[in-house]
Structure 1
Amino acid sequence: MNALESSSTRPYLLRALYEWCTDNGFTPYVAVAVDDTVQVPREYVKDDEIVLNISYDATSGLQIGNEFIGFKARFAGIPRDIMVPIGRVMAIYARENGQGMAFPLLDPGPAPLASAPAPADDSGSRIVQLVAGEDAGAPASGDATPPEQGDDKDPPKPGGNGGGRPSLKRVK
């Protein structure tokens, strides 16, 4: 089997970074590009994106498989089934310090909510640190995750320097 025939590294990296977060006492978050293939509560989706707390305390029955991330979580006290194709995960990071990894989108899906070009493979994976940006009109990473999903307070913004959409900074 050559590199082109092997399976994607993305699910393995997601599982490894999830384990790293939990081993170090951090809260793992995933940023997801939402389209019709993603099963999440649409009322929490902003700009076709949602950030989900996938910690043990916030989820039930978490499965990070090779094709999907699936779990149950409460949103506004209502239990919901969540199903995210691995190819729609844009990043996984620790809420507390923003360290994690970003990924290019793999599967644009049959009918994306917003059209944007996506790379055809995950060779562009990068280790990143999420840093809050200057775009005050965009949602911050924690804003899409409801407090009922394992937290009583709004999660801090990655990078800790105020509201705005997070931006990615390559860590070498």
Structure 2
Amino acid sequence: MISNRPYLIRAMFQWIVDNHWTPHVQVDVNYPGVVVPQQYVQEGMIVLNIHPDAVRELQMDNHLFRFKARFQGVEQQIFFSPDAVLAIFARENGQGMPFPPEAYPEETEDNAVEDVSEMTESNAVDKPKKASKKPHLTIVK
């Protein structure tokens, strides 16, 4: 089953923008595949302004959120999985929606060794991986 998290994030994003507020997301930077400027990370998290006027080329797909943003005048490419989002909220009043932290995708030792060697060889940035999750029941109130 497809996670409802990206759908809820997109819905909250639209609601916040429609109310002329500024949408921010809080992201777990330790989640695999997250690419953000590390100098702005605090306690393993970063808060990002994702208002359409603050970012370029915003794409919020079911498996990957990506956009370009400027940090101290330098444009950077940002990538993260919707599973890494801990909250989306309006800067002006804090209204929004928190999300429980997701379990990190399980990796076998062989896969981790391959990934590290590939990154070292190509000098590439971390790319989000498709997680194989075990089925679980989530209670929605």
TM-score (norm 1): 0.60
Deviation at 1:122?
Answer: 8.6
Q: For 1:34-45, list aligned pairs within 5 A.
A: 34-35=29-30, 36-45=32-41
Aligned pair count reads 113
Is the Cα–Cα contact under 8 Å of residues 101 and 125 in structure 1 kept in the other structure?
A: no
For residue 16 of structure 1, give the secondary structure of its aligned residue in structure 2. Answer: helix
Runs of 4 or more above 6 Å deviation: none
- For residue 74 of structure 2, what is the amino acid of its counterpart? I
* Aligned match of 2:138: 123
Deviation at 1:105?
Answer: 1.9
- For residue 19 of structure 1, what is the amino acid of its counterpart? Q
Structure 2 counterpart of 1:66, from 62, 65, 89:
62
* Aligned match of 2:21: 26
* Aligned match of 1:78: 74
For residue 8 of structure 2, give the secondary structure of its aligned residue in structure 1. Answer: helix
Separation of aligned partners in 2, 1:76 and 1:122: 43
* Aligned match of 1:106: 102
Structure 2 counterpart of 1:17, from 12, 27, 47:
12
Separation of aligned partners in 2, 1:81 and 1:125: 34
Q: Greater relative contact order: 1 or 2 (C-alpha under 8 angstroms, separation 6 or more)?
A: 2
Q: Unpaired runs of 5+ in structure 2? A: 113-134
* Aligned match of 1:46: 42
TM-score (norm 2): 0.73
Larger-gyration structure (1/2): 2
Separation of aligned partners in 2, 1:122 and 1:88: 19
Cα 1:125–1:73 change in 2 (3 A) is farther
Q: Unpaired runs of 5+ in structure 1? A: 1-5, 112-119, 127-172
For residue 7 of structure 1, give the secondary structure of its aligned residue in structure 2. Answer: coil
Q: What root-mean-square deviation, in Å, do the aligned CA atoms of Structure 1 and Structure 2 show? A: 2.1
Deviation at 1:57?
Answer: 1.0
For residue 10 of structure 2, give the secondary structure of its aligned residue in structure 1. Answer: helix
Deviation at 1:121?
Answer: 6.1
Separation of aligned partners in 2, 1:124 and 1:9: 12
Cα 1:73–1:122 change in 2 (3 A) is farther
Q: Structure 1, residues 93-114: CA drift from partner, whole Å, max 9, x if none?
A: 0111101111112242569xxx
